[in-house]
Amino acid sequence: MAIKQPYHEGEIEAQKKAKELDIAFMNKGAFQETIPLGALPFVEQQPMVILGSVDEAGKIWASVLTGTPGFLMAHDEHTLVLNTSEPRSADDDPLWENMAQRSNVGMVIIELGSRRRLRVSGKAIKATDRHYAIEVDRAYPNCPKYIQRRQLTIENSSAPKREIYSTYGQLLNDDQKSLISNADTFFVASAHPVQGIDASHRGGHSGFVKLVNENVLRIPDFSGNSMYNTLGNFISYPNAGLAFIDFENNRVLQLSGLAEILWSHEDPIEETGGTQRYWQFTITGWRESKLALEFKWQFIDYSPHIPQAKSSTQKSNNLLLEVTKITQETDQIKSFQFSTVDGSLLPKFHAGAHLPIKIMLDNGNSELRHYSLLSNPMDRNCYEIGVLLETDGRGGSRYLHQKIDIGTVIETNSPKNGFSLFNNAKHTILIAGGIGITPMLSMLYELTDKQLSYEIHYSAKTLDSLAFREQIESIAGENAHFYVSRNSESSRLDLSNLLSTANPEAHIYVCGPYRLIDAVRDIASVQGWPSNQIHFESFGNPHAVDDQPIEVYLAKSQKTITVNAQQTILDSLLDAGLKIPSDCKRGECGLCVTKVLHGEPDHRDLYLTTEEKKDNICICVSRAKDNKLTLDL
């Protein structure tokens, strides 16, 4: 059940200052009194959880607990159970005394490899000598923004529980300063005197946390979900706790102190991404200890959502590029090659990156649209993209296909990457559908250049629509496999056979229509592939050519809404005046997840697990198979 008034006075003040009160009001429906049933397996699969607690002096601490998956169990949607006999955290972690004396806790359950997280606040009650029951007061999913992907491997899960004790102090030493200054990830716990404790994640490029002086940190505050839970808590109760993980040495640094928000602060290098908002943290004490369980962490990539700060000598992130070549690859796909106007070398990029291009739409407005780079990352003389003409799309592909000629100068930003290769994979499986082949081409160049083991499987509707086939064959040779979906069964891509045996040393990359990605994820999950070995990027419009209008009945509101064929359920509900939480509108963040009471959803999202899809729908992209749905709204 949704919480009627989830915001306290501090959060509302922060929302007003940021001029996002209306968005926050729409998003308040994300807060639930229970954990979604489909998310319970996710909880039990995690070997790490971050808990926030308050000590007797009112100081807040963020603690990193580790254990074999299942050390945090889901009794049901109302109660989580923490097994303290597992490796957990230091024996003298303030958390243990805090939970024994004061029951309020906040937690963020996070899987770095998939950028998935769930925030939970509740009360911890000692159930047995080895277990705490955490009664859920509220829970909600968070979007994947700003999370750096890391592959986590437990080094020795059978090792007995060992005694771990902390060192502590007030002034940071040089090693701790270096850890903070180079961090790309940390966790923050904050509190409100009535509503309890919250734990959250913060991420940015390495160095985004600055040391102002010996005991003061400054953190840029990027745009988020407009709820301002953490900053709102700072306003009402400025005590806070931070936790930095040293991924190289398996240690954790816990900081306790006071937070202060800097509104409308100078930001000459645009490191806040335009918010001009920071917060400072004055350290009053620290504790340092080893993680209770030994992990091997492998960095995969930075979040593509992190703002790109300008260097002191850099005037702009913008590039002016000239179109030097246009090729009609298939009936519907053109490739475009770009070079700098002045002949200088282009910025470096890694395989899987996309190029943000300024597009002029039919209505005269301009927008940035992102297109995967298919060119060789080693060649800095040109960029190349492939674009599928979508006549019913939003206008970007029509602009490039119909308005751009050789010699046209376009404006772009530097390449960004949220789909990069995992460097330590012993084998890589590339799966592409349709225009989803474009990022795979740059991956082929990089894998071949590094002489790494790989195979590529490329499917299109017909032989004629297999774009770039000759190029793929020249790079990949016998490692390339081609399929068509509109011919006989023998020529179709058989995912069940391809993914039949889980390989702990292989990583899968899939790009294309959401149905292909969904199939790969579902089959891989059934066959035992870990989710952090599956990487995906969606291409294509979530609307299908044969989409029909659907009727959505809102059980709580007792309203029926008609959703047009080219309109999403979310947009229809917003147009009807309903306040629905949302953020990405791509089926990736989970904020718009809604319970389905009747009807069969046509799932088109990349967020819900197979279990979660049984009773839920991402209304920003998904529809109904029988053109009728009843939602718990």
- The string of DSSP codes covering 612-628 is GGGTEEETTT-EESSSE
Same domain assignment for residues 125 and 266: yes
Does residue 307 fall inside a structural domain?
Answer: no
The number of distinct structural domains making up the chain is 4
3-state SS class at 42: helix
Average pLDDT of every residue of the chain = 91
Task: Give CA–CA dist 258/208, Å, rounded.
Answer: 19
Does residue 338 fall inside a structural domain?
Answer: yes
pLDDT at 541: 55
Same domain assignment for residues 353 and 375: yes
Provide the pLDDT confidence category of residue 312 given band limits of 50, 70 and 90. Answer: very low
* Residue that the structure tokens 């971050």 belong to: 50
Average confidence (pLDDT) over 115-126? 94
Does residue 265 fall inside a structural domain?
Answer: yes
Q: What is the pTM of this model?
A: 0.79
Task: Give CA–CA dist 348/414, Å, rounded.
Answer: 9
Average confidence (pLDDT) over 611-624? 89
- Tell me which of 16-30, 92-106, 252-266 is least confident: 16-30
Average confidence (pLDDT) over 579-589? 78
Task: Give CA–CA dist 490/453, Å, rounded.
Answer: 26
pLDDT at 408: 94
pLDDT at 234: 98
Same domain assignment for residues 272 and 405: no
Average confidence (pLDDT) over 543-550? 81
pLDDT at 23: 86
State which amino acid sits at residue 469.
R
Contacts (Cβ under 8 Å, ≥6 apart) of 301: 148, 149, 352, 417, 418, 419, 420
| Longest alpha-carbon distance in the chain | 74
Task: Give CA–CA dist 13/7, Å, rounded.
Answer: 10
Task: Give CA–CA dist 144/112, Å, rounded.
Answer: 9
pLDDT at 618 over 70: yes
Closest CA to 201 of 107, 273, 274, 277: 107
Closest CA to 440 of 415, 471, 486: 471
pLDDT at 256 over 80: yes
Give residue-wise pLDDT tens across range 432-491: 999 999 999 999 999 999 999 999 999 999 999 999 999 999 999 999 999 998 876 668
Same domain assignment for residues 182 and 46: yes
Sign of torsion over alpha carbons 85, 201, 27, 518:
negative
Closest CA to 600 of 584, 579, 622, 575: 622
pLDDT at 287: 97
Task: Give CA–CA dist 96/251, Å, rounded.
Answer: 18
The CATH number of whichever domain residue 380 belongs to comes to 2.40.30.10
pLDDT at 1: 55
State percent of the chain over pLDDT 70. 96
Which tokens is 480 given? 């390339």
3-state SS class at 320: strand
Final residue before a domain boundary, out of 510, 538, 566: 538
Under a CB-based contact definition with an 8 Å cutoff, are residues 143 and 588 in contact?
Answer: yes
Give the β-pairing of 72-76 and 79-83: antiparallel
* Residue that the structure tokens 């091997």 belong to: 296
pLDDT at 578: 84
Closest CA to 496 of 472, 469, 466, 529: 529
Same domain assignment for residues 91 and 157: yes
Give the β-pairing of 167-169 and 278-290: antiparallel
Helices and strands (DSSP H and E) totals, the chain: 12, 35
Final residue before a domain boundary, out of 378, 413, 448: 413
Under a CB-based contact definition with an 8 Å cutoff, are residues 547 and 558 in contact?
Answer: no
pLDDT at 601: 93
pLDDT at 367: 84
Same domain assignment for residues 280 and 214: yes
Is residue 468 packed enough to be buried (19+ CB in 10 Å), middle (13-18) or exposed (0-12)? buried
Find the length of the chain. Answer: 633
Provide the pLDDT confidence category of residue 313 given band limits of 50, 70 and 90. Answer: very low
DSSP state, 401?
A: H
Same domain assignment for residues 534 and 555: no
Please give the C-alpha separations between residue 169 and each of 166, 221, 256, 283, in angstroms, as whole numbers: 10, 27, 11, 10
Q: To the nearest 10°, the Cα dihedral for 414, 415, 417, 423? A: -110
pLDDT at 158 over 90: no
The CATH number of whichever domain residue 496 belongs to comes to 3.40.50.80
CB environment 291-313: b (16+ within 10 A), e (fewer): bbbebeebbbbbbbbbbebeeee
Average confidence (pLDDT) over 332-355? 94
Which tokens is 423 given? 């460097």
Does residue 69 fall inside a structural domain?
Answer: yes
Same domain assignment for residues 554 and 510: no
State percent of the chain over pLDDT 90. 67
Same domain assignment for residues 435 and 529: yes
Provide the pLDDT confidence category of residue 155 given band limits of 50, 70 and 90. Answer: confident
Final residue before a domain boundary, out of 538, 571, 598: 538
Average confidence (pLDDT) over 259-287? 95
Does residue 106 fall inside a structural domain?
Answer: yes
Under a CB-based contact definition with an 8 Å cutoff, are residues 472 and 439 in contact?
Answer: no
Average confidence (pLDDT) over 106-115? 93
Nearest 5°: the CA angle 21, 23, 29 is 110
Does residue 325 fall inside a structural domain?
Answer: yes
Average confidence (pLDDT) over 253-275? 95
Task: Give CA–CA dist 53/199, Å, rounded.
Answer: 9
Under a CB-based contact definition with an 8 Å cutoff, are residues 61 and 71 in contact?
Answer: no
pLDDT at 146 over 50: yes
Under a CB-based contact definition with an 8 Å cutoff, are residues 169 and 221 in contact?
Answer: no
Integer-rounded Cα radius of gyration of the chain: 25
pLDDT at 300: 84
Please give the C-alpha separations between residue 603 and each of 483, 515, 517, 617, in angstroms, as whole numbers: 24, 9, 12, 7
Does residue 361 fall inside a structural domain?
Answer: yes
pLDDT at 314: 47
Average confidence (pLDDT) over 259-274? 94
CA end-to-end distance (rounded Å), the chain: 10
Under a CB-based contact definition with an 8 Å cutoff, are residues 282 and 257 in contact?
Answer: yes
- Tell me which of 218-227, 256-265, 488-497 is least confident: 488-497
Under a CB-based contact definition with an 8 Å cutoff, are residues 6 and 31 in contact?
Answer: yes
pLDDT at 29: 78
The CATH number of whichever domain residue 610 belongs to comes to 3.10.20.30
More reliable by pLDDT, 577 or 363: 577
| DSSP H stretches of helix in 102-248 | 174-182, 229-236
Same domain assignment for residues 407 and 471: no
Task: Give CA–CA dist 541/392, Å, rounded.
Answer: 9
Same domain assignment for residues 247 and 99: yes
More reliable by pLDDT, 32 or 468: 468
Give residue-wise pLDDT tens across range 40-86: 888 999 999 999 999 999 999 999 999 999 999 999 999 999 999 88
* Residue that the structure tokens 């000692």 belong to: 126
Same domain assignment for residues 345 and 459: no
CB environment 356-387: b (16+ within 10 A), e (fewer): bbebeeeeeeeeebbbbbbbbbeebeebbbbb
The whole domain housing 405 covers 318-413
Does residue 1 fall inside a structural domain?
Answer: no
